[in-house]
Amino acid sequence: MAKITIKEIKFNTRVTHKEIPFFRSCLCSMADFATNPLMHNHQGDSLRYGYPLVQYRSIGNKGVVLAINEGVTEITPLERFTDMDINIGSKRRTLQLESSQMWVADLCFTSHPILYTIDNWLPFSSDNERLFVKLDSLLDRVAFLQRMLTANIISMAKGFGIHLDEEIKVSVKDLFESKRLLYKGVPFISFSLSFYANLALPDKIALGKHVSHGFGVVSVVGNDIS
């Protein structure tokens, strides 16, 4: 069993999902953060490869910053930035701290499947998307998505330095929505769905591509498999 430390800072500041890149840019430009690679996932002019330990989100059209493990210490100074005017894109808004909470979650295999939802999940590279759209059978497409979920879980765990040494069993339950969207001008297929897994995944963890910008957030539903 591995323990994952998570911290979530919520601001009472309007931030829509489309404004997340501006929100992130604004916070990262503040003192102490511009040169911190965990805050913006860059090291100099290069990308920092690996699972993002600081993630920016919009929940209820309010700005949220979530950090994991080493990222927790890095975002704590954000708690002092409140009642100050900021620019989110071309819009002037007031940054107001609403809440801050920290918890420790398990990442481990379970004897029973646990039900989760995942929202706006971006599972595909361009090559995988081409393979997916060529599949005619619904069963084949579901199996493909299950393999992608498994690969994303392994990748996430590796980002925490955790090796999952048992077989991961994933089963898609319901597909709520599938749509095309643009991220930085690049088209992606996004999925919102529910799935079972034989793992205890931390609530609010994220899977897939571009998790630092609020995609692929996982929510724990429970253990009922009826």
pLDDT of amino acid 224: 53
- Sequence spans of domains, the chain: 2-104, 107-222
Nearest to 39 by CA among 184, 212, 225: 212
What whole-number distance in Å separates Cα of residue 34 and Cα of residue 27?
9
CA 129 to chain CA centroid, nearest Å:
20
CA 98 to chain CA centroid, nearest Å:
21
Instruction: Assess whether the region 2-104 and the region 107-222 belong to the same CATH fold.
Output: no
What whole-number distance in Å separates Cα of residue 31 and Cα of residue 29?
7
Nearest to 62 by CA among 88, 81, 85: 88
Amino acid (1-letter code) at residue 106: D
In terms of CATH architecture, what is 107-222? 2-Layer Sandwich (3.30)
3-state helix, strand, coil in the chain (%, to 5): 25, 45, 30
pLDDT of amino acid 30: 74
Residue 6 DSSP code:
E
pLDDT of amino acid 33: 61
Q: Is domain 2-104 in CATH 2.40.30, yes or no?
A: yes
Nearest to 223 by CA among 191, 201, 204, 205: 201
Pairing of strands 2-14, 97-121: antiparallel
| Per-residue pLDDT tens digits of the chain, which is 226 residues long | 789 999 999 999 999 999 999 999 888 887 566 566 666 554 555 555 579 999 999 999 999 999 999 989 988 888 888 888 999 988 999 999 999 999 999 999 999 999 999 999 999 999 999 999 999 999 999 999 999 999 999 999 998 889 998 999 999 999 999 999 988 888 899 999 999 999 999 999 999 999 999 999 999 998 654 4
What whole-number distance in Å separates Cα of residue 71 and Cα of residue 210?
17
pLDDT of amino acid 32: 60
What whole-number distance in Å separates Cα of residue 176 and Cα of residue 193?
5
Pairing of strands 84-88, 91-95: antiparallel
Residue 129 DSSP code:
H
What backbone torsions phi and psi does residue 34 show, to the nearest 5 degrees? -60, -30
For residue 205, the SS3 value is coil
Indicate the pTM of the whole model: 0.88
Are 218 and 201 in contact by the 8 Å Cβ rule? The answer is yes
pLDDT of amino acid 68: 94
What backbone torsions phi and psi does residue 31 show, to the nearest 5 degrees? -55, 145
Amino acid (1-letter code) at residue 75: I
